[in-house]
């Protein structure tokens, strides 16, 4: 027995665990539902493969009070959306945007190990190795960024003018 075999087995074990988590979230996505009174509703489509997703966010007091999604797509897009909703729910908008940046970097940049700041989202860390899958994995995250940035712009207009339409 060589000292190399256990290291390979551990690496294979982590990869296998990551694959199991992705399959679980793809088959049984969490927060897969409509939010009728959502503050934000964003529809996104990946024209390369046909993944489509509608993201619903209920914002309250500067934070994500509830988040859900509906749509059809490959296992990676569905699992990424499911994992995202679990990670973002309860975060302040700025924290959610910060998490978006860290996850986007992880999904699009080669790295030896996922950053510790992404927590359980590390299961998506190998996506960068499959360029055709990066858009699948980032689809829900792009919808999140769009929804939160639109909200920040709207809040800024309210502060500047004191009226909800952002106009005098």
Delimit the domains of the chain by residue range.
4-159
- Quick one: which H or E segment has residue 42? strand 40-45
Look at residue 28 in the predicted model and tell me its pLDDT.
98
Average pLDDT, 10 consecutive residues per value, the chain (168 residues): 38 78 97 97 94 98 97 96 98 97 93 83 91 95 96 61 46
Look at residue 18 in the predicted model and tell me its pLDDT.
86
| 137's tokens | 């994995």
Whole-model pTM over 0.75: yes
User: Which residue's entry shows tokens 């959502």?
Assistant: 38
- C-alpha 91/C-alpha 44 separation (Å) is 22
CATH code of the domain made up of 4-159: 3.90.1010.10
Look at residue 15 in the predicted model and tell me its pLDDT.
79
Distance, C-alpha 100 to centroid of its chain: 7
Packing angle between helix 75-88 and helix 93-108, nearest 10 degrees?
Answer: 150
């Amino acid at each position: 027995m060589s000292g190399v075999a256990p290291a390979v087995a551990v690496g294979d074990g982590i990869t296998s665990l990551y694959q199991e988590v992705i399959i679980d979230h793809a088959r049984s996505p969490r927060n897969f539902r409509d939010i009728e009174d959502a503050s934000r509703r964003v529809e996104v489509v990946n024209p390369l493969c046909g993944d489509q997703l509608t993201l619903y966010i209920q914002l309250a007091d500067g934070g994500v009070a509830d988040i859900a999604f509906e749509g059809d797509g490959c296992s990676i897009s569905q699992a990424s959306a499911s994992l995202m909703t679990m990670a973002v729910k309860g975060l302040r908008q700025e924290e959610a945007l910060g998490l978006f940046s860290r996850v986007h970097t992880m999904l699009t940049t080669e790295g030896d190990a996922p950053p510790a700041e992404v927590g359980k989202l590390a299961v998506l860390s190998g996506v960068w190795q499959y360029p055709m899958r990066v858009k699948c994995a980032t689809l829900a995250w792009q919808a999140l960024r769009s929804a939160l940035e639109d909200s920040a712009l709207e809040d800024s207009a309210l502060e500047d003018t004191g009226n909800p339409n952002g106009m005098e």
